[in-house]
Amino acid sequence: MESAHYFSSEPAGEFIRKPLSVVLDGRERSLHTSTGIFSPDAIDKGTRILLDEVPEPAPNGSFLDIGCGWGPIALTLALKSPDAHVTAVDVNQRCIALTTENAATLGLDNLSASLPQDVDPDLGFDLIWSNPPIRIGKAELHELLLLWLPRLNPGGEAFLVVQKNLGSDSLQKWLADTLPAGFAVSRFSTAKSFRVLRVVREG
């Protein structure tokens, strides 16, 4: 699989952009992708299920996409909520470049993509949508989620899509047992071989 090392900071091989035609927020969009990233040729099944299942985002607020890839989730949030500010994070430098370029192509000035360490540590989020990178390993995944989920603002919520055979139910239990007091974890929906988990911080 050419994207096998999509979770590397700087993937092997030349960074060559290639066109991608894809439907986001109900319209065909002409964007760019490349090798060395997650799901470079289409919106992957998990992300599509997340986008189909989650409620419409609020018209404004501070939103986050964890593990943005070439940007389908972050771009959708920015398209749906032009008065919100969307932060997209990924460890892969190509993903940051592509998400930034794709946002510019769509005329979205309410989206910023950056490496995790470059996000303002005091910034909280009203909404998180994510197809988290399960294949980085359990310890790394847990560390990643504990970095971002506690940054939900009071009353904020997160939606995570996880494949059932990759541990969605055990992840739900771990989140419920591990997140601080005031966080509630539930199964929001099931579609095909995926669960959408919901994490809510009490207001």
Q: What is the pLDDT along the chain (203 residues), one digit of tens a residue?
A: 334 444 555 665 788 899 999 999 999 999 999 988 988 899 999 999 999 999 999 999 999 999 999 999 999 999 999 999 999 999 999 999 999 999 999 999 999 999 999 999 999 999 999 999 988 889 999 999 999 999 999 999 999 999 999 999 999 999 999 999 999 999 999 999 999 999 999 98
Residue 43 exposed, middle or buried by CB count within 10 Å (0-12, 13-18, 19+)? buried
- Angle at CA of residue 124, ends 120 and 127, nearest 5°: 125
Whole-number Å distance between alpha carbons of 182 and 47: 27
Task: Output the pLDDT for position 143.
Answer: 95
User: What per-residue confidence (pLDDT) applies to 200?
Assistant: 98
What pLDDT score does 10 carry? 60
Q: For residue 71, is it left (φ>0), alpha (ψ between -120 and 50) or beta?
A: left
Whole-structure pTM value: 0.93
Token pair 């989650």 is at which residue? Answer: 54
The C-alpha atoms of residue 41 and residue 27 are separated, in whole angstroms, by: 18
Whole-number Å distance between alpha carbons of 172 and 150: 15
Q: Is 195 helix (H, G, I), strand (E, B) or coil?
A: strand
What end-to-end distance do the CA atoms of the chain give, in Å? Answer: 43
Cα 116 to Cα 3, 87, 128, 144, distances in angstroms = 20, 10, 14, 10
Q: What is the DSSP letter of 166?
A: G
The pLDDT value given to residue 35: 87
